[in-house]
A = this chain, B = another copy of it.
């Protein structure tokens, strides 16, 4: 393996190039890509050309770089996330129709809710959950629903490291929120991200009763049809859970988050 003077490998540098794109940015000038990846321009250019030769990146005439269709294809045709999504989408469409709301699906990754699917409806409330976007657990109802379903030792670890002075949310309040969410079978957060909306989310459990995803809607603050929303979400979540294959043991994993991402197989 070739290591640079700073000790990083080619693999590290390839990953830095791919990870250099800020969320939602489709095109990045090569010079900015190099700066963000903390690589010399010539190194970045060489890596981009090599990745472009395989169709994983595309290098435009103006020197801008974007992800190639081939990379999208390779990742999506073999993604565990896609299997979860395929199971969930028909039920998400049902919610979308029956409740006339945006509906989203999230998994836990580290201490974030990572949104893996969203169906929108024209005219429904603003939903900040972008596909492949993240929100910290404590500011999203999906995050709370996901964390409330984790084993006690994971919740304890989460609460131990929790720190968000800007929100004035004490770990003790967060602990209460998680306990209530687990008891009620749904999580509800008002106005943390967008002051005019509620987020409501329920856990999706696989046949082994592990919480593997959260199904949620975002509704206007004045919409108080909670009693109708929650059972509909819970019904859809049970339908999704039944579709999930449980044939595979969770990964022992090599990274700290694998016990979470391996759970939704």
Complex Cα distance, B2 from A17, in Å, reads 18
Q: Which of A115-172 contact B (CB under 8 A)?
A: 116, 119-122, 130-134
Contact B58–A254 (Cβ < 8 Å):
yes
Report whether A261 and B58 are in contact in the complex, using a CB–CB cutoff of 8 Å: yes
Q: Which residues of B contact A51 (CB under 8 A)?
A: 11, 15
- Verify A26–B69 contact, CB threshold 8 A: no
Task: Flag if B249 contacts A77 (CB, 8 Å).
Answer: no
A75-B80 CB under 8 A given contacts A93-B119, A254-B58: no
Known: A72-B75, A72-B132. A11 touches B50 (CB 8 A): yes
How far, in whole Å, are A36 and B116 apart by their CA atoms in the complex? 29
A69 partner, pick from B68, B69, B254, B257, beta carbons under 8 A:
B257
Within 8 A of B (CB), among A49-68: 49-56, 58-62, 66-68
| Contact between B55 and A257, CB atoms less than 8 A apart | yes
The answer to whether A262 and B72 touch across the interface, beta carbons within 8 angstroms, is no
Please indicate the chain B residues that have their CB under 8 angstroms from the CB of A114 in the complex.
Answer: 69, 73
Q: Which 10 A-B pairs have the closest CB atoms?
A: A61-B252, A2-B2, A77-B132, A10-B10, A76-B132, A60-B251, A11-B50, A69-B261, A21-B78, A52-B254
16 A-B pairs with C-beta separation under 8 A: A1-B10, A9-B50, A15-B54, A15-B56, A18-B75, A58-B251, A59-B253, A60-B252, A60-B262, A61-B252, A68-B255, A68-B258, A72-B132, A77-B131, A90-B121, A90-B122
Residues of A that sit less than 8 Å from B by CB:
1-2, 9-12, 14-15, 18-19, 21, 23-27, 46-47, 49-56, 58-62, 66-83, 86, 89-90, 93, 96-97, 107, 109, 114, 116, 119-122, 130-134, 248-249, 251-255, 257-258, 261-262, 265
